[in-house]
Amino acid sequence: MVEFEQSNGILLLRYEPMNGASWIPARLEDDQTLPIRGTFYLKHKHLVEVVSPNEDDEGHSDEPEAVSFQVATLDGDYFVFDREILGIDCDLLIHKDVQLTYKSFTAEKKVSIFRIIAALKPGRIVIGGDLPDSIPEQDFDSMVRNFPRELELKRYVMARVGSVVRDFVDTEIDAEDLFRSYVNKRLKKKTKDIVGLFRQDEIRKYKFLHEKLSAMLKAESGYNEAAWQAEILQIILLLNPKYIKALKGVPVRDTYRNVTRQIDILLIDASGNVDIVEIKQPFDKCIITSNHYRDNFIPLRELSGTVMQVEKYVFYLNKWGRAGETSLTDKYKSELPADFSIKITNPGGIIIMGRDNNLGHDQRQDFEVVKRKYKNVIDIITYDDLLRRLEFIIKQLDAGT
């Protein structure tokens, strides 16, 4: 049995063989090395204590049942291990609060874990604590638990052989599949419910947005265009967390007419890529006709004009290219993170306008055809779309509680 204990700034390895420890001191006195589990290589200079548990009335003790060796010394918050004991050529530091067992050092079949790590030639090995190069204790424990076992190694060898043999001979056993199945089963672990940590906060957020949007739609006439756009833009940013910034009144160069146009709102994502958003107040009958034209419902002028406007802005941005990226980055660098660059890479467009709650079945179908026609460049969203998205998000989050 191998155990570890801390004592006065040193780390002791206590070794209790099944057949007693009486033979160990004599062996060490001959300057021989005592190997333990193929991991620790101990000499007489490392010996600290010989434990004889029982003494009779005359002071005679039984045969020693355990021996203790000094394997590491405390330096600050870390135990620094003797390289010679572990047979490694780099420093090993383990935080004093890390719980150590022999399994922290030795894998199946007496394989030294730290000797394998040292073979990768790191500058040093640090476990636990908060040093910049330290391996977190939980990650180290996970690595130890998932260290290859004898069966896994056997499966791996069979898989490598099988990958060659099966090109020439039919085999009943698919060794590669056996290996994959074994590894997947062994490494399968329960996923921590990260969403659950924030679910209630998310539900409150989306419920607030739904109530806010519903109230705005009921009192639409009480907003001017600028105030409406500002409120809806906040909802869009919260629904699309990839965007980190919304710029208003952004200049764009029309290189064909050599004039400068102005984009109402330009969205910037975390990678610096830009998209255009057009936000229109949801007045009635701005999306699709109420009467047929050649047996079809067609887009109304307001929708067609907005689509054309966004397409032209996309066109201008693409033509502006690298010069535009430099110009916009310089203009807005004070509003963006340090060393952040704006990129013009096939910008997309978002149009938010109109209601679809009063559309008939055929109107909805034809409107969907229109939306999908432009889908590769422009996402056309009605205010009822926004409400439905919020409702479905809330229902999905509620279902997880």
Its domain, for residue 92, covers: 2-145
pLDDT at 166: 76
| Residue 54 backbone zone (phi > 0: left; psi -120 to 50: alpha; other: beta) | beta
Token code pair at residue 65: 């049942």
CB atoms within 10 A of CB 395: 10
Identify whether the C-beta of residue 9 lies closer than 8 Å to the C-beta of residue 52. no
Together in a domain, 227 and 347? yes
88-91-92 Cα angle (round to 5): 90
Lowest mean pLDDT among 73-82, 221-230, 280-289: 280-289
Pairing of strands 10-15, 34-36: unpaired
pLDDT at 286: 73
Mean pLDDT of the chain: 88
% of the chain with per-residue pLDDT over 70: 94
Long-range Cβ pairs for the range 362-370 (8 Å, 24+):
362/297, 363/288, 363/290, 363/297, 366/288, 366/296, 366/297, 366/298, 367/287, 367/288, 367/297, 370/288, 370/299, 370/303
pLDDT digits (tens, 9 = 90+) for 173-219: 888 888 888 777 766 655 677 888 889 999 999 999 999 999 999 98
Rounded Cα gap, residues 260 and 316, in angstroms = 10
Token code pair at residue 129: 């604590």
Structurally, how many domains does the chain consist of? 3
Together in a domain, 205 and 350? yes
pLDDT at 167 > cutoff 80: no
% of the chain with per-residue pLDDT over 90: 55
CB atoms within 10 A of CB 400: 11
What CA–CA distances, in Å, run from 63 to 25, 53, 66, 282?
Answer: 11, 9, 9, 92
Together in a domain, 8 and 85? yes
Together in a domain, 336 and 225? yes
Q: What are the phi and psi torsion angles at 311 (to 5°)?
A: -60, -40
pLDDT at 129 > cutoff 70: yes
Q: Which of 187, 216, 247 is the last residue of a domain?
A: 187
Together in a domain, 132 and 174? no
pLDDT digits (tens, 9 = 90+) for 303-325: 899 999 999 999 999 999 999 99
Contacts of 290 (CB under 8 A, 6+ apart): 297, 363
pTM, rounded to two decimals:
0.56
249-253-258 Cα angle (round to 5): 130
Together in a domain, 139 and 286? no
Together in a domain, 250 and 321? yes
pLDDT at 30 > cutoff 80: no
Rounded Cα gap, residues 207 and 202, in angstroms = 8
pLDDT digits (tens, 9 = 90+) for 243-286: 999 999 999 999 888 999 999 999 999 999 999 999 999 876 67
Together in a domain, 327 and 203? yes
Pairing of strands 10-15, 259-269: unpaired
Together in a domain, 279 and 310? yes
pLDDT at 61: 53
What CA–CA distances, in Å, run from 335 to 224, 338, 340?
Answer: 26, 9, 10
Together in a domain, 136 and 160? no
What CA–CA distances, in Å, run from 168 to 52, 102, 173, 202?
Answer: 64, 45, 14, 57
